[in-house]
């Protein structure tokens, strides 16, 4: 059966893919040939790279045929041993064989991952195969359908990539060096590939480790809150995907289909079908992965699942030895059958941020819970006040606050809640706001929660631990304003015409918006909207505060500020008015957790 050209009767839009020879953000491309070689312990790709910790067999440019006859290519890096070993798949369009995306080199501080700590054989956002060969695993780096020299067209997430990975899994499981058990690992696209493959339930896929990756392309990435945002997606696809054919054009799909339909539903994965062990990882710093990762964990059908929230940037977290040791214990249990007590690992481990500089209190890691959000959560409602504060009781006075919604540099409407005792917030917050606009019939509302110190200074969190940064980089002002290395706080966004909720899928703190219709608001009409925030973990001392910012643009550092240019696009016009007190009790629900 050929791969589909339409989904649910909706034609898939395609666009040309940049050829492999285009070197933008890429290493110079050398077309690979089919060969097998043994690389000796101590071999180095370059003098800057880490020497191999063991002998490896490098099977280069191996063919795999998918069920519709399409031929794709992979590299297999495995230990030199007569024993059969399990395989770990790394599935993405990000290259293999030493070519591919090189964003580390153009990111501040190289994300805290020195080139000397990796072999150079790793796929972008994947574990280092040389490290894992020394742990007794093969790594299979796949150029997916349509990428590089693999045949066909590139599908952007959804069901078809999961079908393709199922074919890869069963092909690899039959190779003579494999013990028949496969796992998957990696960040972002590599994580999304895991969720979609596990939904297909291929028999030889025994465990997945999606370390940060979305599960709903529409809600998590390109149209969060109903607000189209294709600049980041276009940047990623243009800069990271190379191939000889075409790729799915997500930006054009969103232009044609701005509301939820069968096309977008195919990219919202039904993870309840997953029946194998899952080790999911999330952070607060990612602008596209946090919510979908937790959704995947919570809704996965398996009872063998674990979630870890870390306090750093996802690529940094991926290469820490302690995390690789932890992941090996997971894979040893389910791919090698070693009875090592992994099942006793607490289901949820959470970090909380302190927003400290180098010489201040650092994040608290691995706080154990049985579920997420923690069942210990005590939800606290605070109310917006005319004095630009938030209080424990509703305001008696009726008032308004406003902000200019269509000016990127305009001051936000800000409200601060001051904690009367040491307090930790873990989980989901939700705002209920009463809003109006006299100038147009819709509003794109962007919220953020920011930590404020006792002196009233708004704090920021560094995603790369201070210990991994150069001497002299000691304060938040020393860190560039880019999302990969700096996190400002949890955000919530909503286009007000998309405010409708599905009561069967919403919870008291997580509104689920169907995004299947628009409900415009006549100018001047006051309307209520519930806006959920993505996960948070922040600890406060007595006297510190939490600031709610309401504005017309996202209060977040750009993912790659030097590469994504121009003013963000939205439909805002004029002033947005926030109504306070009386019949319009604008409020914020906070998740307080005793620790």
496-518 pLDDT, tens digit per residue, is 999 999 999 999 999 999 999 99
Query: Burial level of 571, CB count in 10 A (0-12/13-18/19+)?
Result: middle
Could you give the 3-state DSSP secondary structure of residue 593? Answer: coil
Q: Which of 294, 248, 240, 241 is nearest to 271 (CA)?
A: 294
Q: Which of 216, 258, 263 is nearest to 516 (CA)?
A: 258
Between CA 323 and CA 356 the distance in angstroms is 23
- Tell the burial category of 8 from Cβ atoms under 10 Å away from its Cβ (0-12, 13-18, 19+): exposed
Contacts of 544 (CB under 8 A, 6+ apart): 418, 419, 451, 452, 453, 454
**Separation between Cα atoms, residue 429 and residue 534, nearest integer Å:** 8
> Which DSSP helix (H) or strand (E) runs through 324?
helix 321-335
DSSP string covering 131-176? HHHTTT-EEEEEE-TTSBT--S-B--SSHHHHHHHHHHHHHHHTST
β-strands 178-186, 85-92 pairing: parallel
Which two structure tokens, joined as six digits, stand for 50? 């880490």
Cβ atoms of 403 and 411 closer than 8 Å: yes
546 within 8 A of 540, measured Cβ to Cβ: yes
Closest by Cα among 349, 353, 258 to 305: 349
Enter the tokens of residue 407.
């000016």
Distance CA 446, CA 556 (A): 10
The CA distance from 431 to 589, in Å, is 6
CATH topology of domain 10-345: Rossmann fold (3.40.50)
pTM: 0.96
User: How many other C-beta atoms are found inside a 10 Å radius of the C-beta of residue 337?
Assistant: 12
Burial label for 6, CB within 10 Å (0-12, 13-18, 19+), is exposed
Tell me which architecture the domain covering 378-592 has in CATH: Sandwich (2.60)
Backbone torsions φ then ψ of 162, nearest 5 degrees: -65, -40
pLDDT in tens, 249-262: 999 999 999 999 99
Write down the pLDDT at residue 207. 98
H or E segment at 141?
strand 138-143
Ranges of the chain whose pLDDT falls below 70:
1, 558-567
Peptide bond into 373 cis (omega under 30): yes
Identify the CA nearest to 250 among candidates 291, 199, 214.
Answer: 214
Start-end of CATH 3.40.50.1820 domains in the chain = 10-345
Do residues 389 and 418 lie in contact, with contact meaning Cβ atoms separated by under 8 Å? yes
HSE toward the beta carbon, residue 90, CA cutoff 13 A? 26
Specify whether the CB–CB gap between 383 and 359 falls below 8 A: no
Question: 471: which residues sit within 8 A by CB, 6+ positions away?
Answer: none
pLDDT digits (tens, 9 = 90+) for 538-549: 999 999 999 999
How many Cβ atoms sit within 10 Å of the Cβ of residue 502?
12
pLDDT at position 558, please? 67
Start and end residues for every CATH 2.60.120.260 domain found in the chain: 378-592
Instruction: In whole angstroms, give the CA distance from residue 575 to residue 438.
Output: 7
Dihedral sign (CA 35, 237, 103, 139): negative
d(CA 360, CA 365): 15
């Amino acid at each position: 059966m050929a791969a589909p050209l339409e989904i649910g009767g909706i034609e898939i839009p395609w666009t040309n893919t940049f050829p492999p020879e285009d070197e933008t953000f890429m290493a110079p491309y050398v077309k690979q040939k089919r060969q097998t070689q043994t690389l000796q312990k101590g071999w180095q790709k370059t003098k800057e790279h880490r020497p191999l910790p063991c002998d490896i067999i490098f099977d280069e440019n191996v063919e795999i045929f998918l069920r519709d006859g399409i031929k794709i290519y992979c590299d297999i890096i495995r230990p030199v041993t007569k024993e059969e070993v399990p395989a770990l798949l790394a599935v993405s369009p990000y290259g293999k064989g030493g070519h591919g995306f090189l964003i580390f080199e153009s990111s501040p501080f190289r994300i805290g991952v020195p080139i000397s700590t990796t072999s150079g054989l790793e796929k972008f956002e994947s574990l280092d195969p040389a490290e894992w060969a020394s742990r007794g695993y093969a790594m299979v780096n796949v150029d997916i359908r349509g990428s590089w020299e693999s045949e066909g067209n590139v599908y952007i997430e959804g069901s078809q990539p999961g079908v393709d990975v199922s074919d890869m899994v069963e092909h690899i499981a039959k190779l003579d060096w494999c013990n028949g058990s496969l796992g998957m690992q990696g960040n972002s696209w590599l994580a999304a590939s895991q969720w979609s493959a596990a939904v297909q339930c291929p028999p030889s896929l025994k465990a997945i480790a999606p370390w940060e990756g979305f599960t709903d392309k529409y809600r998590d990435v390109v149209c969060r809150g109903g607000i189209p945002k294709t600049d980041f997606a276009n940047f990623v696809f243009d800069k990271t995907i190379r191939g000889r054919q075409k790729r799915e054009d997500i930006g054009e799909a969103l232009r044609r289909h701005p509301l939820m339909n069968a096309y977008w539903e195919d990219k919202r994965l039904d993870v309840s079908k997953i029946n194998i062990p899952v080790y999911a990882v999330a952070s607060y710093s990612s602008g596209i992965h946090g919510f979908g990762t937790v959704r995947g964990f919570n809704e996965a059908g398996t009872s063998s699942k674990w979630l870890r929230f870390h306090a750093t940037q996802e690529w940094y977290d991926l290469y820490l030895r302690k995390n690789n040791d932890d992941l090996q214990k997971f894979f040893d249990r389910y791919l090698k059958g070693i009875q090592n007590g992994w099942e006793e690992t607490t289901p949820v481990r959470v970090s909380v941020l302190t927003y400290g500089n180098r010489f201040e209190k650092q994040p608290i890691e691995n706080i154990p819970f049985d579920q997420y959000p923690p069942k210990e959560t005590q939800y606290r409602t605070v109310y917006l006040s005319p004095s630009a504060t938030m209080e424990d009781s509703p305001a008696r006075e009726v008032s308004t606050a406003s902000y200019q919604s269509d000016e990127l540099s305009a001051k936000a409407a800000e409200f601060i809640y001051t904690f009367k005792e040491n307090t930790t917030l873990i989980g989901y917050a939700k705002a209920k706001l009463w809003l109006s606009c006299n100038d147009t019939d819709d509003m794109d509302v962007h919220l953020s929660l920011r930590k404020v110190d006792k002196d009233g200074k708004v704090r920021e969190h560094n995603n790369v631990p201070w210990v991994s940064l150069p001497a002299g980089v000691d304060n938040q002002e020393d860190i560039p304003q880019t999302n990969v290395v700096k996190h400002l706080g949890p955000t919530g966004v909503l286009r007000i015409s998309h405010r409708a909720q599905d009561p069967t899928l919403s919870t008291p703190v997580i509104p689920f918006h169907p995004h299947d219709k628009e409900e415009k608001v006549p100018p001047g009409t006051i309307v209520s909207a519930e806006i959920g925030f993505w996960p948070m973990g922040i600890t406060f001392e007595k006297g510190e505060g939490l600031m709610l910012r309401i504005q017309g643009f996202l209060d977040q550092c750009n993912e790659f500020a030097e590469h994504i240019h121009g003013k963000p696009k939205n439909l805002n016009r004029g002033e947005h008015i926030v109504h306070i007190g009386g019949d319009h009790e604008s409020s914020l629900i906070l998740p307080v957790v005793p620790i």
